[in-house]
Structure 1
């Protein structure tokens, strides 16, 4: 089966706990609200693309344990191809505990991820999938580079959440660097992106360092980007955030959807921004993802 999008990287299971405020160290805190499900940047993107009707696949590494099988089963139920998902015996599936502050929707994540030998893609299976778009989150560098070598004509996107070996190595190789504010500050050495001059300087430095089309997401302050023809920006759609968990993953999945549908860049960014805006208004990770029709309807009501 030829895929529209192949997502390569991190899969995890999530336990979200909703608290009235971030707990103090060496204190006790009670909550009566929690959510359990699966997550991970690339895995969430593959899940979203699949429920939106694209042919999407996920390549990643989990343990052959209850969490790993749950991660596989959620993706399969959504319709995602998991032929490149390895359930490795003796490996422990990543687990994230997420504290969500009810006051402002912010989330603090503690991720258990054991070091393991890198994921190796089965060349025969990979060639058969023949994806048109590749989306990476930097967690499986070797597998990502293999896919880029195998499919040099595919559109490639990096979800760069923070500076790590994988994101640093891939940032200058992909066609679209879609970076978080955190990654942008780490990569450029800037202290903030609060004013227009700092934002222009940020994009200039990123373009100079990596030489690719660059997007930096700024949460409720929207995003900035440079596709090679200078600085541009897109404001965030107004939203009262109750939980920002997976909003970035949903943005990147929706952006990949737009490119797979051959949307112009600005339209794809607008589409992805609306998907993320709708997601922060709900609790949870995947449970916060809007339906495709909901995103399209919301966009039809704004200029």
Structure 2
């Protein structure tokens, strides 16, 4: 409690996300489809920041806001609503905040479950390269207990500086659109304490043919290796404690999987800062990610302590009660106020059909 450093340091690109759910099928040219639901809110790096802050972690975010409605809205939500420190962030004159429209399409696999669920999404983004790089925003990064980062092919200078000043780096990695999966990226793991890719990424970067083999290869490169497996849960190895754990996903109804992997990562970090055993860290992260996919968007779907506590108190399944019994001792006495989810439109099962709708199809 006498450590006044930020618990979590983050930097990355911020988006304003508009998520449309309830589509029966993808749209085709010349066709209008009515959706059953819509939500909006901050996205991108905000997913990690909000998920961490809702677990009571002192969260410092370095990002760029546009000087437009979307930037002002995201800044207000992150700073005033979520209590995130934005002193390292900047507002750029004349630069538009990136905006993404996400179409949440029918599940790729019926019955997909929690953790990092498998769903289809189509994304359309309007945006420009930000006027400030991550290194420019960070400069000489402040000392922090941890940092949550997305590794990229081109190493960021601030990352080595942060590792050198004692910040523990928790990293994940995104999809490689070139699909070359250069193994040079794994050189950056020498700076990291933990690495949390999904199984597709883990197998591609390690040139292995199973999640378990990928985990074994990553365990030789980083102290804590985690591989998320969507509907099959997650597995991890902690070389600092000698622990290995594998946990199943939760069986949940998925509304929108946006940001579920980010919620997983932030939740795993929060439990790690608490010094929990590896199996508890994994179960907690799977639970938080599973709860998040029941709501629109990424950042504002994060459950926080309030959401986890509400789930635990309503739980009746005896098997889950046993598996998650550790929450009885882990949940704080004060779980905070109800979290605020993304503003949504009420579901409309009977969209209007008439001259206007017909005319727009021609």
Task: Please report the TM-score for the alignment, with normalisation by the length of structure 2.
Answer: 0.70
Name the residue aligned to 1:135.
148
Name the residue aligned to 1:194.
none
- Residue 66 (structure 1) aligned with residue 69 (structure 2): yes
1:113 Cα deviation (Å)? 4.4
Residues matched between the structures, number:
290
Residue 278 to residue 89, structure 1, CA distance change in 2 (3 Å): same
1:76 Cα deviation (Å)? 0.1
Name the residue aligned to 1:97.
101
1:222 Cα deviation (Å)? 0.3
- Residue 221 (structure 1) aligned with residue 257 (structure 2): no
Q: Name the structure, 1 or 2, with higher relative contact order (CA <8 Å, separation 6+).
A: 2
- Residue 280 (structure 1) aligned with residue 293 (structure 2): yes
Residue 131 to residue 232, structure 1, CA distance change in 2 (3 Å): same
SS in 2 for 1:240: coil
Aligned partners of 1:169, 1:75: CA distance in 2, in Å?
33
Aligned partners of 2:41, 2:261: CA distance in 1, in Å?
17
Aligned partners of 2:129, 2:56: CA distance in 1, in Å?
34
Task: Please report the TM-score for the alignment, with normalisation by the length of structure 1.
Answer: 0.83
Residue 270 to residue 23, structure 1, CA distance change in 2 (3 Å): same
Residue 51 to residue 201, structure 1, CA distance change in 2 (3 Å): closer
- Residue 4 (structure 1) aligned with residue 18 (structure 2): no
1:169 Cα deviation (Å)? 5.7
CA RMSD of aligned residues (A): 2.9
Residue 52 to residue 256, structure 1, CA distance change in 2 (3 Å): same
Q: Which runs of 5+ in 1 are unaligned?
A: 192-197
Higher radius of gyration, 1 or 2: 2
1:272 Cα deviation (Å)? 1.0
Name the residue aligned to 2:357.
none
2:217 aligned residue (205, 209, 212): 205
Q: Which runs of 5+ in 2 are unaligned?
A: 111-118, 314-320, 324-362
Name the residue aligned to 2:197.
179
Q: Which has the higher strand share?
A: 1
Aligned pairs (5 A) from 1:22-101: 22-23=25-26, 25-32=28-35, 33-40=37-44, 42-77=45-80, 78-101=82-105
